[in-house]
């Protein structure tokens, strides 16, 4: 193998080599820097009789044990033969990278990008001799691969119908699968715990998918750098008991078309995270997704401020002890702004109803939630004007005087039509950002993916932060545009307003599933806590399932650089536990997943500056946990603990607050009630 000269790479150390075709026909293996993971590409005789020649396969191993067996690779085109067999391997280029970079908007402030990589160059043996490249990359925490269609005369414009990418697990496994049933989904459903073999070929399973191999590691399937392409789903692979097959989100009204483009074209990364325990997936997911995503496109990010927001929607038209009628009006919104100022929150989110309908009529019911009356969900509204009952200039002035910034809710259709007019206007008004909602009306097809890109880039141009709701899962776009602080794509707290579905079991599944893809706007903060027996869905002054301590823990467990305080102001002020919400940050310098298992419990510690914060949650089963404090630095710490109270199994609001001195050698014993939790702040003692 000929070794090329050292090639300088921007902010990385690497090496490059080429292999002659005669020698490169042997398997191409890329191992992780620590040697424990490997991804192998090989051309093998096709065992399927209906297609001749050699096929492309890859396989994955962890600590010498197979994780994925030989799994097919290839691209299906509309109106052209698939690009998946009878190749000549013309070259292999290898390089490695090892650098660190700063990130101020997530779970880790210093991210290491340490990997080994191979690019395999392929050319069809038969005319028209189309070319394909496969990029293989291995980290210490997972492997990834992607397709590249280089610019070439043999392949110009194209339409991709689907990928032939398979994920054939080498042994039986159980999975936490989000079977959405359709592509145009808001990702708001439960992750079902099922055998991998029970996923059907017709299933539409959204990512992330988390699986536990029998006698083997935990594995999570994700994608990153989804740009001008279709979102990835999986279904069962026909005839392969533990196999999954890629399914691309089709273009509207064109089920046989997923991606329309021309060469050169690079697909998103397909990622397989691996860890011996489920918590390892939490620690490694953000670095890997961000490392495999496009670098920051915003030269100056100093104006992007993570933080918490007051929010007027969750409680409904509810108030007590006030001299105004609650609703979407100036007086109510001033009340929330005053609360945000008192609680030192940087933001107040004004939800739906502030802008007028174009035809003068708003829908009385929130779409897809027929049990939830609304203050007006205008689909066709003018987001450059405000309704008379909301004096937006006065609210903006009042907020500025109180050091609070305003965020505005807008429907995605209005944003798509008016962003070029509205966003510069918002910057002029002094609006800090927008919440774009109901993106579930369109799937993550190629056109919607491009709309997301346009939304966040236009918002960045006018210094607006953005929160996308009804959204598909994150895929790393926030690295290029850190003003995309959060997105929904999760069945969150709002479901307690109209259903019993949002349970503590679901809550402790999310950190090991949906959260692996990136921040999620679950919107915690309910202080009207209810036991399993006492809980009832209701729209005004809603309850939530689980204890007060579990709601506090969510602010540590769930990653959300823009985080809501969902409840009504007077439900917070003077209430036990509110002091924790005032202090807890929304971005972190370091994250440790201490213990847990999907659907059962989770304990996470995160550091911000010199303080550590801890959150622990359980499902409906009471639980006792011993948490070693060896994540703390040296010295003594003052621990402020927010624990399920002695009556938390009967009164979910019951909370005990105590302080004690601890060291890294200590173990914290926690007693979690049914649907319970614990939160803590560890402050170093000087």
| 562 within domain boundaries | no
Q: How far is 550 from 542, CA to CA, in rounded Å?
A: 17
Distance (Å, rounded) from C-alpha 519 to C-alpha 525? 16
Boundary-marking domain end, from 472, 489, 506: 489
- Domain match, 327 and 475 both: yes
- pLDDT score of 502 more than 80: yes
Structure tokens at 298: 């915003």
Q: What is the mean pLDDT of residues 646-673?
A: 98
Residues with Cβ within 8 Å of residue 658, at least 6 apart in sequence: 640, 641, 643
Output the pLDDT for position 379. Answer: 60
Within a domain: 50: yes
Are residues 32 and 108 both part of a single domain? yes
Averaged over 169-182, what is the pLDDT?
Answer: 96
Structure-block tokens of residue 302: 């100093």
484 and 496 part of one domain: no
Coil/strand/helix, residue 113: strand
Q: What's phi and psi for 512, nearest 5 deg?
A: -95, 0
pLDDT classification of 52: cutoffs 50, 70, 90? low
Residue pLDDT, tens place only, 82-120 = 999 999 999 999 999 999 999 999 999 999 999 999 999
What span, in angstroms and rounded, lies between the C-alpha atoms of 322 and 426? 30
Domain boundary among 291, 320, 342: 291
Residue 507 half-sphere exposure toward CB, CA atoms < 13 A: 36
Whether 135 and 224 have beta carbons less than 8 Å apart is answered as no
Q: Are residues 284 and 405 in the same domain?
A: no
Average pLDDT estimate for 3-29: 46
Find tokens 């997972």 and name the residue.
142
**In terms of domains, do 511 and 474 share one?**
no
pLDDT at 172 over 80: yes
Same domain? 281 vs 319: no
Is the residue at 647 inside a domain? yes
* 239 backbone φψ class: left, alpha, beta (φ>0; ψ -120 to 50): left
Instruction: Write down the pTM of the prediction.
Output: 0.93
Residue 643 banded pLDDT, cuts 50, 70, 90 = very high
pLDDT (tens digit per residue) in 557-609: 999 999 999 999 999 999 999 999 999 999 999 999 999 999 999 999 999 99
Which residues touch 634 (CB under 8 Å, ≥6 apart)?
664
User: pLDDT band at 12, cuts 50/70/90?
Assistant: very low
Q: Which two tokens mark 216?
A: 């083997």
Residue that the structure tokens 């206007």 belong to: 425
* Residue 484 in domain: yes
| Mean pLDDT value across the chain | 92
Nearest to residue 550, comparing CAs of 498, 485, 621, 462? 621
User: What are the distances in angstroms from CA 439 to CA 187, 195, 413, 455, 514?
Assistant: 11, 31, 9, 12, 17
DSSP letter (8 states) at residue 381: B
In angstroms, what CA-CA distances link 199 with 160, 162, 237, 496, 536?
24, 19, 9, 28, 33
Question: What's the pLDDT score for residue 87?
Answer: 95
> Is residue 541, in this structure, part of any structural domain at all?
yes
- Number of residues in the chain: 686
pLDDT of residue 320: 84
Chain segment 386-426, per-residue pLDDT in tens: 999 999 999 999 999 999 999 999 999 999 999 999 999 99
Please give the structure tokens belonging to residue 633: 């630095």
- Model pLDDT, residue 151: 98
Q: Based on the domain organization, do 279 and 323 belong to the same domain?
A: no
The DSSP output letter for 168 is E
Distance CA 642, CA 551 (A): 11
| Last residue in a domain, options 443, 469, 489 | 489
Our CA angle for 276, 516, 14, nearest 5°, is 75
Query: Residue 62: which of 41, 35, 42, 29 has the closest Cα?
Result: 35
SS3 state at 671: strand
On the CB side of 597, CA atoms within 13 Å amount to 9
Same domain, 228 and 277: yes
The domain spanning residue 468 has which CATH number? 3.20.20.70
C-alpha 675/C-alpha 184 separation (Å) is 32
Range(s) of the domain holding residue 461: 308-489
Q: Give me the mean pLDDT over the 233-246 stretch.
A: 96
User: pLDDT at position 367, please?
Assistant: 38
- Overall average pLDDT of the 64-81 stretch: 97
Determine if residue 666 is left, alpha or beta; phi over 0 gives left, psi from -120 to 50 gives alpha, anything else beta: beta
pLDDT of residue 616: 98
Q: What is the pLDDT of residue 373?
A: 32
pLDDT at 439: 84
Rounded distance, CA 683 to CA 459, Å?
37
**d(Cα 170, Cα 172) in Å, to the nearest integer?**
7
Q: What is the CATH number of the domain that holds 231?
A: 2.70.98.10
Domain count across the chain: 3
For residue 570, tell me if it sits in a domain. Answer: no
Task: Give yes or no: residues 473 and 552 share one domain.
Answer: no
Residue whose tokens read 């069962």: 236
Same-domain pairing of 501 and 407: no
- According to the model, what pLDDT value does residue 185 have? 85
Residue 565, domain member (yes or no): no
Tens digits of residue pLDDT in 335-394: 999 999 999 999 999 999 999 988 644 443 333 333 333 334 456 789 999 999 999 999
Answer yes or no: are the C-beta atoms of 488 and 514 closer than 8 Å.
Answer: no
Per-residue pLDDT, 51: 55
Please check the confidence at residue 279 and state whether its pLDDT lies above 80.
yes
Closest residue by Cα to residue 599 from 616, 617, 615, 619: 619
| pLDDT over 60 at 283, yes or no | yes
| Spatial CA neighbour of 469 closest among 447, 494, 445 | 494
In this structure, are 88 and 195 located in the same domain? yes
Asked if residue 503 and residue 485 are part of one domain, the reply reads: no
Q: Say if 258 falls within a structural domain.
A: yes
Distance between CA atoms of residues 358 and 512, nearest Å: 43
Of residues 62, 211, 217, the one with CA closest to residue 140: 62
Tally of CB atoms within 10 A around 501: 14
How many separate helices (H) and strands (E) can be counted in the chain? 10, 42
Distance CA 469, CA 467 (A): 7
CB neighbour burial string for 220-236, b if at least 16 within 10 angstroms, e if fewer = bbbbbbbbbbbbbbbbb
Q: What is the pLDDT of residue 359?
A: 67
Question: Secondary structure of the chain: what % helix, strand, coil (to 5)?
Answer: 15, 40, 45
């Amino acid at each position: 193998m000929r070794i090329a000269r050292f090639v300088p790479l921007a902010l990385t150390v690497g090496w490059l080599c080429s292999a002659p075709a005669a020698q490169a026909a042997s398997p191409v293996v890329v191992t992780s820097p620590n040697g424990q993971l490997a991804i192998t590409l090989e051309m093998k005789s096709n065992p399927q009789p209906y297609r001749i020649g050699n096929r492309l396969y890859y396989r994955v191993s962890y600590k010498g044990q197979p994780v994925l067996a030989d799994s097919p690779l290839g691209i299906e085109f509309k109106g052209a033969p698939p690009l998946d067999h009878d190749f000549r391997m013309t070259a292999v280029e290898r390089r490695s990278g090892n650098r660190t970079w700063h990130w101020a908007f997530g779970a880790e402030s210093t991210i290491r990008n340490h990997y080994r990589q191979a690019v395999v160059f392929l050319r069809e043996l038969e005319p028209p001799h189309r070319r394909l490249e496969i990029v293989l990359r291995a980290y210490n925490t997972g492997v990834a691969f992607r397709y590249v269609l280089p610019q070439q005369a043999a392949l110009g414009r194209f339409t991709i119908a689907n990928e032939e990418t398979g994920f054939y697990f080498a042994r039986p496994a159980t999975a936490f699968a989000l079977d959405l049933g359709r592509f145009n989904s808001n990702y708001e459903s439960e992750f079902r715990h099922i055998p991998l073999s029970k996923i059907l070929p017709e299933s539409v399973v959204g990512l992330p998918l988390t699986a536990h191999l029998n006698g083997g590691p935990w594995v999570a399937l994700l994608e990153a750098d989804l740009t001008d392409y279709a979102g990835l789903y999986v279904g069962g692979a026909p005839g392969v008991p533990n196999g999954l097959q890629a399914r691309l989100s089709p273009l509207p009204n064109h089920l046989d078309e997923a991606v329309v483009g021309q060469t050169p074209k690079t697909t998103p990364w397909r990622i397989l995270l691996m860890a011996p325990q489920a918590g390892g997936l939490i620690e490694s997911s953000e670095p890997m997704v961000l490392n495999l995503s496009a670098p920051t496109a915003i030269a100056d990010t100093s104006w992007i401020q993570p933080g918490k927001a007051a929010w007027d929607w969750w409680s409904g038209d509810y108030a007590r002890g006030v001299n105004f009628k609650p609703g979407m009006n100036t007086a109510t919104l001033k009340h929330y702004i005053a609360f945000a100022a008192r609680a030192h929150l940087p933001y107040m989110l004004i939800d739906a109803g502030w802008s007028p309908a174009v035809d003068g009529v708003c829908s009385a019911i929130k779409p897809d939630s027929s049990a939830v009356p609304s203050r007006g969900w205008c689909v066709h509204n003018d987001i450059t004007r405000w309704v008379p009952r909301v004096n937006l200039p006065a609210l903006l002035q009042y907020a500025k005087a109180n050091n609070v910034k305003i965020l505005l809710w807008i429907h995605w259709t209005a944003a798509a039509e008016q962003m070029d007019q509205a966003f510069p206007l918002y910057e002029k008004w002094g609006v800090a950002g927008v919440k774009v909602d109901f993106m579930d009306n369109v799937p993550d097809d190629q056109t919607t993916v491009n709309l997301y890109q346009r939304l966040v880039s236009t918002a960045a141009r006018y210094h607006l932060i953005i929160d996308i709701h009804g959204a598909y899962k994150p895929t790393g776009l926030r690295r290029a545009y850190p003003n995309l602080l959060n997105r929904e794509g999760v069945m969150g707290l709002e479901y307690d307003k109209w259903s019993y579905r949002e349970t503590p079991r679901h809550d402790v599944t999310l950190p090991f599933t949906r959260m692996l893809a990136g921040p999620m706007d679950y919107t915690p903060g309910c202080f009207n806590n209810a036991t399993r027996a006492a809980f009832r869905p209701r729209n005004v002054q809603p309850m939530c399932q689980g204890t007060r301590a579990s709601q506090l823990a969510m602010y540590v467990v769930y990653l959300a650089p823009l985080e809501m305080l969902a409840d009504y102001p007077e439900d917070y002020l003077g209430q036990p536990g509110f002091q924790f919400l005032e202090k807890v940050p929304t971005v972190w310098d370091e994250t440790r997943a201490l213990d847990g298992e999907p659907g059962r419990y989770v304990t996470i510690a995160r550091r911000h500056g010199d303080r550590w914060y801890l959150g622990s949650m359980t499902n409906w089963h009471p639980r006792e946990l011993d948490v070693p404090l060896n994540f703390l630095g040296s010295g003594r710490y003052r621990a402020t603990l927010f624990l399920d109270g002695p009556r938390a199994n009967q009164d979910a609001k019951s909370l005990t607050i105590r302080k004690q001195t601890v060291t890294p050698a200590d173990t914290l014993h926690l007693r979690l009630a049914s649907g319970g939790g614990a939160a803590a702040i560890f402050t170093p003692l000087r």
